[in-house]
Amino acid sequence: MGALIEAHDLCKTFGEIKAVDGISLKVNRGEVLGFLGPNGAGKSTTMKMITGFLEPDSGRASICGHDIQEAPKLAKANLGYVPEGAPSYAEMTPRSFLGFIAEVRGVWGDEVRQRIAAAAAKTGLEPVLDQTIETLSKGYKRRVGVAQAILHDPPVLVMDEPTDGLDPNQKHHVRELIKKMAADKAIIISTHILEEVEAVCTRAVVINRGAIVADGTAEDLLHRITYHGAVSIRVPTERSDAAIRLLKEAQGVAKVETLDKANGHIHLRALPREGALEAARVAAVLRAQSIPIDELYVERGRLDEVFRQITTSDDMKRKKSGEGATNA
């Protein structure tokens, strides 16, 4: 069987603005795809096209092999969707709201109660099932949106910023929930919280200005950062010259950067020629000249720096090529 979620060359223009410009992706069972990008990059628009809320100008999307535009009911029956802000009918109680969703999903009779109970248990909604939704806290409202999406246990889940605006405990809860469900579903979550990608996603796609600029695991993305595998060292300032000289001569080191000086210490970073530097070897080089080491660690890079590096360099490239085009 093919991928549960497939998008092929999706494009959408709003007036003059090209919101999504040729996005293709596949998500298989067991995958949690993190959809990353700056605000306005086209994350939500892409999700709206995948879930069939918006019709793409060109391209197509399918859920479990059913084209979302050609066979919308079949595709949507296999889909659970949490739109941005997790909207729900404020005047209803979670119980009646979930009952309505169950009916629409073709669940009848006793099963309705069971499904509501199961979804409420998974999302921790039990204490508030009979309060009107408008009186609930933001965290509970968000959970109502998630409960609604998982009620029919769909093979495909699409969630637009499911943890936005939640407190750390609630975020943790939602992430645990996603992880638990991940094994037998294909899930897309959009987010701009990068720790979330490392926490729950098996794969991350970065989009910028409506196009995919990176696709891989969190680890793959980290490799893209220039100082991935570099070694950071803190030594006393009076020995800094010796340390820099030794590091430059050390095997496999391409460059040594001085990051900052504070409290009589200097913070250096040795960049590898390729791959990653071995911390033990770097330490040995310094110790051989009895330079005291206050701190030493291999840098992995942080995802938000990767994110910034990818999206801003992409912006600059576009800007340049745009200038080139106007000059020519």
Among 101, 112, 187, 206, binds other proteins (CB under 8 A): 101
- Orientation of helix 279-288 relative to helix 240-249, angle to 10°: 130
If one asks whether residue 129 binds other proteins (CB under 8 A), the answer comes out as no
Among 7, 32, 33, 54, binds other proteins (CB under 8 A): 54
The span of 70-78, 186-194, 255-263, 318-326 binding other proteins (CB under 8 A) equals: 70-78
C-alpha 152: how far from its chain's center?
A: 25
The span of 79-87, 123-131, 241-249, 270-278 binding other proteins (CB under 8 A) equals: 79-87
d(CA 186, CA 82): 14
If one asks whether residue 88 binds other proteins (CB under 8 A), the answer comes out as yes
If one asks whether residue 162 binds other proteins (CB under 8 A), the answer comes out as no
* In the complex, least distance from residue 55 CB atom to other proteins, rounded to whole angstroms: 8
If one asks whether residue 53 binds other proteins (CB under 8 A), the answer comes out as yes
The span of 31-39, 51-59, 220-228, 279-287 binding other proteins (CB under 8 A) equals: 51-59
The span of 29-37, 92-100, 207-215, 294-302 binding other proteins (CB under 8 A) equals: 92-100
The span of 21-29, 84-92, 224-232, 247-255 binding other proteins (CB under 8 A) equals: 84-92
* In the complex, least distance from residue 108 CB atom to other proteins, rounded to whole angstroms: 11
If one asks whether residue 51 binds other proteins (CB under 8 A), the answer comes out as yes
d(CA 242, CA 248): 10
d(CA 98, CA 48): 22
Nearer to other proteins, 68 or 235 (CB): 68
If one asks whether residue 77 binds other proteins (CB under 8 A), the answer comes out as yes
The span of 67-75, 163-171, 191-199, 270-278 binding other proteins (CB under 8 A) equals: 67-75
Give the Cβ contact number of residue 119 at 10 Å.
Answer: 24
Among 42, 83, 229, 301, binds other proteins (CB under 8 A): 83
Nearer to other proteins, 158 or 266 (CB): 158
d(CA 117, CA 126): 8
**Burial label, 51 (beta-carbon count in 10 A; 0-12, 13-18, 19+):** buried
If one asks whether residue 123 binds other proteins (CB under 8 A), the answer comes out as no
295-298 sheet: strands from edge to edge: 253-262, 265-272, 231-236, 295-298
Q: Which residues contribute to the site for other proteins (CB under 8 A)? A: 48, 51-54, 72-74, 76-77, 79, 81, 83-85, 87-92, 96, 100-101, 103-106, 132, 148
